[in-house]
Amino acid sequence: MKITLTKPDDWHLHLRDDEAMTSVVAHTAERFARAIVMPNLKPPVANTQLAADYRQRILDALPENSGFTPLMTLYMTDLLTSDEVIRAKQSGFVHGIKLYPAGATTNSDAGVADIRKLYPVLETMQRESMPLLVHAEVTEPEIDIFDRERVFIDRHMTKLRQEFPELAIVFEHVTTRDAVDFVRESNGPIGATITVQHLMYNRNHMLAGGIRPHYYCLPILKRETHQEALIEAATSGNSRFFLGTDSAPHPQHAKECACGCAGCYTAHAAIELYTEIFEAENALDKLEGFASHHGPDFYGMPRNTERITLQKRDWQVAESYRFGKDMVVPLKAGQTVHWQLITEQGG
């Protein structure tokens, strides 16, 4: 059995930098034509010049003739200005500005402390048609980690949608039924990315019978009822939901330790795993929309013209991959994946 799709895009990706990036970027470039690249480096990619420099490093790291296009983003800090938003828009290569609440995830210490102070910047983004990409979690320690997305919706997302009705908002890596309902029911331009790991797993997979650090990501895996809502949204054909892997490589030693990093590495088999999920839901006819059409339509970009083919054929994921001077353990390490991307060389 084979299926052919318009070559998909990844609308949420972490590539890291330098030697580590060079080790992993080919996995994405093989499967995706474009990707929205997250800006949470150290120091963060907080202005257009830094984005240009990072983009060039990505292009230099790509395999020859890959054809892959990195779509850059800026990191929203408390110092972001309207002039910088305009420069980013005029660059032609910056396609969004990422809002990390301070302390929400990896390298988010420079994130926004009070979104209300950036309302003038958001007004400029709305006028310039620059999307706001939101990591939608509160970070107060007294809020239960499993409730942080829901509380962010109540405190901030609803108000953002009301105050800036024409601002394009991407609700990144939704993890709850609350988020799915918010995206479905909101007015104005809004979309949401959904990851492989949040479709495949729930918190029982991560915690029952022993802690599995390579399933640990932020936002954290939720209850099975939330997982079911995500699967229904992804396979529904609703154009507000599209593919975003949030593939986030970390060195093996930084995951398998007393204070392990948050993030799942999925770029090595992302489109194959999404295909498994859609097949299990008898929704392969909806996969191309989710993976290849809804994202570019939301961002106002042309759909890709290149196509890829996947074959129903078992293959085993490597136990680890090189990651700079370290190793990264991928999702489903050592396990079988049931769909395989057919390369130009035939397998």
Sign of CA dihedral 289, 238, 88, 109: negative
Q: Tell me, what amino acid is at 219?
A: P
Alpha carbon 89 to chain centroid, angstroms: 21
Residue 188 region, left (φ>0) first, then alpha (ψ -120 to 50), else beta? left
**Does residue 326 have an active-site annotation?**
no
C-alpha span between 264 and 200 (Å, rounded): 12
Asked if residue 173 belongs to a known ligand binding site, the reply is yes
| Residue 27 assigned ligand-binding role | no
DSSP class of residue 36 equals: E
Exactly one of 83, 246, 285, 314 is catalytic; name it: 246
Helix (H) or strand (E) holding 2: strand 2-6
Which DSSP letter does residue 141 get?
T
- What CA–CA distance (Å, rounded) separates 201 from 199? 6
Cβ-proximal residues to 178 (8 Å cutoff; 6+ apart), any chain: 149, 150, 153
In angstroms, the Cα distances linking 8 to 173, 226, 245 are 17, 25, 12
Residue 226 annotated in ligand binding: no
Would the annotation count 12 as a binding residue? Answer: yes
Task: Say whether 250 counts as a known binding-site residue.
Answer: yes
Q: Is 16 annotated as a binding residue?
A: yes
Query: Closest Cα to residue 85, out of 30, 129, 53, 42?
Result: 129
Report how far residue 27's alpha carbon sits from residue 32's, in angstroms, rounded to the nearest whole number.
Answer: 9
Q: Is 98 annotated as belonging to a binding site?
A: yes
- Known binder of ligand: residue 167? no
Q: Is position 293 annotated in a ligand binding site?
A: no
Rg (CA), the chain: 19
Whether cis (ω within 30° of 0) applies to the bond prior to 219 is yes
Judge whether 99 is annotated as a binding position: no
Asked if residues 170 and 132 have their Cβ atoms less than 8 Å apart, the reply is: yes
Query: Per the annotation, does 95 bind a ligand?
Result: no
- Residue set of the binding site: 12, 14-16, 40, 98, 135, 173, 218, 246, 250, 262
- Residue set of the binding site for Zn(2+): 12, 14, 98, 135, 173, 246
Looking at the annotation, which residues are catalytic?
246
- Residue set of the binding site for substrate: 14-16, 40, 135, 218, 250, 262
